[in-house]
Structure 1
Amino acid sequence: MASARFGIDYEVIVKGNNLKLREGFLALANVTLIRTPDGPWLFDCGHFSNRIGVIKGLQRAGLTPADIKVVFLSHLHFDHANNIDLFPQARVIVSRREFDYAAAPHPEDILIPWLIQDQLRKHDLHFIEGDGELAPGIRHMAAPGHTPGLQVLILDTDSKGTVVLAGDAIKYVKEVMARRCDMAFDTAENGTASIRRILDMADRIVPGHFPELRRDGDAWLWDEPAELPLLIR
Structure 2
Amino acid sequence: MYKLVNLVRVFFAGILILALTGCVSAPPVTPKAAQNLRLYVFNCGTIDVADISVFHPGIGKGEHKRLTDSCYLIVHPKGTLMWDTGLPDALINIPEGKTVYNLFTMHVTRTLASQLQEIGYAPDTINYLGISHMHSDHIGNVNLFPKATLLMQQEEYAAAFGPEPGKYGFSPENYPTLHANPVKQLTGDYDVFGDGTVIIKRTLGHTPGHQALFVKLPKTGNVLLSGDLVHFTENWEHKYVPGFNYDKAQSLKTMDEVAQFLKDNHAVLWIQHDLEQNQEIKHAPKYYE
TM-score bracket, shorter-length normalisation: 0.7 to 0.9
Q: What is residue 183 of structure 2 aligned with on the other side?
A: 125
* Matched residue SS, 1:74: coil
Residue equivalent to 1:68: 126
**TM-score calculated relative to the size of structure 1:** 0.77
Using a 3 Å threshold, how does the CA distance of structure 1 residues 130 and 183 change in structure 2: closer, same or farther?
farther
After superposing the two structures, state which structure 1 stretch, 83-92 or 132-141, moved more: 132-141
1:97 matched to 2:161? The reply is no
CA RMSD of superposed structures (Å): 2.9
Offset of residue 19 of structure 1: 2.6
Structure with the greater relative contact order (CA < 8 A, sep ≥ 6): 1 or 2?
2
CA distance in 2, matches of 1:117, 1:83: 9
Give the match for residue 185 of structure 1.
Answer: 245
Q: Give deviations 1:14-51, integer Å, cap 9, x for gaps.
A: 25545313599975521111111123211001232349
Q: Deviations over 1:151-203 (max 9, x none)?
A: 11111222233211111112211222213323443211211222222233232
Residue in structure 1 matched with residue 80 of structure 2 by the alignment: 40
- Which residue number corresponds to residue 224 of structure 1? 280
The equivalent of 2:269 in structure 1 is: 205
CA change 1:38–1:95 in 2 (3 A) is: same
Q: Secondary structure at the match of 2:246?
A: coil
For these two proteins, the number of residue pairs brought into alignment is 210
Quick one: distance in 1 between partners of 2:203 and 2:44? 22
Task: Structure 1: give runs of 5+ residues left out of the alignment.
Answer: 1-5, 214-221, 226-233
In structure 2, list runs of 5 or more residues that go unmatched: 1-34, 55-64, 92-107, 282-289
Matched-pair contact (CA < 8 Å) for 1:147–1:186: yes
Name the counterpart of 1:86. 144
Distance 1:191 1:17, change over 3 A: farther
Name whichever of 18-27 and 139-148 sits farther off: 18-27
User: 1:141·1:152 contact (CA, 8 Å) conserved in 2?
Assistant: yes
1:175 and 2:175 equivalent? no
Cα 1:52–1:122, aligned 2, differ >3 Å: closer, same or farther?
A: farther
Structure 1 pair 196/11, CA: closer, same or farther in 2 (3 Å)?
farther
Task: Mark the CA change 1:8 to 1:162 in structure 2 (over 3 Å): closer, same or farther.
Answer: same
Quickly say closer, same or farther: Cα 1:51–1:45, change in 2 above 3 A: farther
Matched, 1:160 2:220: yes
Tell me which amino acid in the other structure corresponds to 1:39.
G
Report the counterpart of residue 149 of structure 1 in structure 2: 209
Q: TM-score, normalised by structure 2?
A: 0.64
One-letter code of the match for 1:70? Answer: Y
User: Counterparts of 2:272 and 2:171 in 1: how far apart (Å)?
Assistant: 18
What is the rounded CA distance, in whole Å, between the counterparts of 2:122 and 2:276 in structure 1? 24
For the pair shown, which has the larger CA radius of gyration, 1 or 2?
2
